[in-house]
Each structure stands twice: as structure tokens, then as C-alpha cells.
Amino acid sequence: MNYRVLLVSFLLTTTSSSFAQTAKELYEEGVQLRKDGKSKEAVERFKRAVALKPDYTDAYYEMGWCQNETKDYSGAIQSLRKVRQEWSAVAKVHFELGYAFEKSSQNDSATASYKRCLAINNEYSLAWKQLGVMAYQADDAKTALEHFAKYEAAAKSPITDYLYWYRKGFCYNGNKEYSNAKTALFKSLEYKKDYLNTYLELGFACSRLKEDDMAIGYYKKAIETDPNSHIPYNGIGEVYRDNKKDFAEAMVWYQKTLALNPNERKGNFGMGYCLNATGKFADAIDYLKKAIENQKDYVAAYVELGYSYYKINYYKDALANLNKAISLNPNNENGRYYACLVYISLGEKSNAQRMVDELKGLSSRHAAGLQEKVNKM
């Protein structure tokens, strides 16, 4: 009896040891496959390893890492949550889990994981980078730039990612730091010469700095990069409209924009604006309506459309559009300015005075001149 017990015990111990060894071999195969860039095959090995050894934390971590690589983010979250229980003080676990959450659009969980990573290791550069990317995607340029600065400070080697430098330049443009934007965007071009968006952002930055010829040059490089994109044509139109005040030339480029994309809201607005500026008020109306069709809250388009109607004495339509602009943006000055002119034309002194009073409340430069007109009614 004792002999049989000993034999069974020996067999169980030997079998268990064999299973553990087999799990280790599968784990090592998986690691090698990952190093060889075969993440999908590696995941299969790690799954077999944890099936044999359910508490194999190393295998779960490697599997989660590879699942992120193969874009199986839900799988990565499951794997890395198991690891987090055992390796709560390991920064890389929280980073990989944060990345999986981020790619699954679980932004709050992603942010929490990245912050846990940084609480363990404040020099974990990629966590700062991804926090910056998330802020960039949320159109929070200021926060993105703060995180990007910490990423660069923590980075151990030169940053050669063209997309990173593009995003940084984009954020500088959003923060109205146009010279800094150019510096970052030039870095992006060092690592990728044919990225359309980099040329677009350079064109935008230069236009804001009144470097008109440079702006047009970068927009034309964008056209060379992608002749089917309507955006650079529109950009050139804006340079001629806003900076050079050459409305005829601007319309040439807006027409090219609309030939590629007839519904493009900025192109339609630009055409309407330029037609108003050249006294072709009735012709502007359809373009401005088209702009509004494609963006229902387009305040500037409502103002321009109201102005068009005012100039052709369609006062009811003018007020409808100008009041819409004011309702969308209660601080809008131009809408009130033109509405005041309409009320003056209609002889409605009380409404005209109301517009003047509201403009005074906004400290508008238009208020004094309009007050003189109202006083003469």
C-alpha cells in the first residue's frame, strides 16, 4: 500500500514538473517569435503556455504585449489585467495596459494606467508621449504640448518619428505659436518628405505669420504630394483672400477647391465672402447657403449671408441669418453690426439701439460709429 502511494506521488510530481517545463519551453519559443517580429505566432505559444500553467505571469505579460502588436486590444486588456495583479509595481505593465485601453477608446482607463506607470517611473517617456497623443486627439493643444515636452526630456535617444513632430507642429499651430510650429514641422520633414499634412500645417503657419509666398509654396508642395486633395487649394485661396486681399485670385483657387469637392464648406464660404467683397452680393448667396448646409453652426457663413441679403435689401432674410449667428455665438460682433444696419434701414430705432447697447457691452469698436447713426434717426 505504501509502495503504491509513493509511486503515485512520484508520477504526479514528475508529470507536474514536465508540464511546467513544457510551459517554459512554449514561453521561450513565444519570446523568440516576438523578437523575430512574429507576434501572432507568439501569442499562440503564450496561450498554450498559460493553459498548462495558469499562473504564468511572464507569459501573460508577453502575450498582452504581442496582442497590442497584433491590434487585439480586448485580448491585451484581459491578459495584462492578470499581470497587473502580480506586477502592480512594474511600470511597463501599466503602460501596455494603458495603450490597450487607449486603442479601445477607453480614454479614462488609459489615462489612469499611464499615470500609474508614471507614478512608478516618472521617466517612462512613452507614457508621456501617449498622454500627449491623447490630448492632441482631444484638440487640447496646450496639454498635449506639456506632455510632449516631458516626453522629449525623458527620451533616451533622438526622436525620429515624423508623426510625432507633425503632431507637435499641429498643436503649436492650435496654440497660435506659429514659429514653433514651423520648427517642429521642419523636423517632421527630415524623417518623411511626402507627408501631405506636414505641408498643410506649414502652409497654415506661414500664412498666419504673413509669410505669404512661403505659405503658397508649401501648399503647392502639398498639391504635388496629393493632387486630389482639395485642402491645399483652399489654403492658397485663404492666403489671397485674408492676407493679400486679392479676391479675384482667391476665387480662382476656391473654384479649384470646389471642383474637387463641391460640398467643401470653407471653399463655399470663401467664394461667398469674395463675391461679397467684390460687390456681387446676389451671386454670393448660393455659395454661403451651401457652406451652411455642410455645417449647420457656421457662424461666419450666417453673418456673410445676412450681409448679402442686407446689400440687396432683403431685410427679413438678412435678420433671420444675422440673428441665427448671434444665437450660435452670443458674443458675435459682426452679426450685431450688420443687424443694426438693417434696423436703421428699416427705421426701427429701438431695435437698432438695442444692437448698439449690446455692442457696447462687448466693448466693440463698432459701437461709437453706429451710435452716431442711430442718434440721427
Rounded to whole angstroms, how far apart are CA atoms 189 and 251?
A: 30
Mean pLDDT of the chain: 94
Q: What is the pTM of this model?
A: 0.86
Cβ-contact 307, 318 below 8 angstroms: yes
Q: Are 39 and 16 in contact (CB under 8 A)?
A: no
303 near 325, Cβ under 8 Å?
A: yes
Element (H, E) at 62: helix 57-69
Cβ atoms 371, 356 nearer than 8 A: yes
Q: Are 95 and 66 in contact (CB under 8 A)?
A: no
Q: How many Å apart are CA 209 and CA 204, to the nearest integer? A: 9
Q: How confident is the model over 207-250, as pLDDT tens digits?
A: 999 999 999 999 999 999 999 999 999 999 999 999 999 999 99
The single-letter code of the amino acid at 143 is: T
pLDDT tens profile 165-220: 999 999 999 999 999 999 999 999 999 999 999 999 999 999 999 999 999 999 99
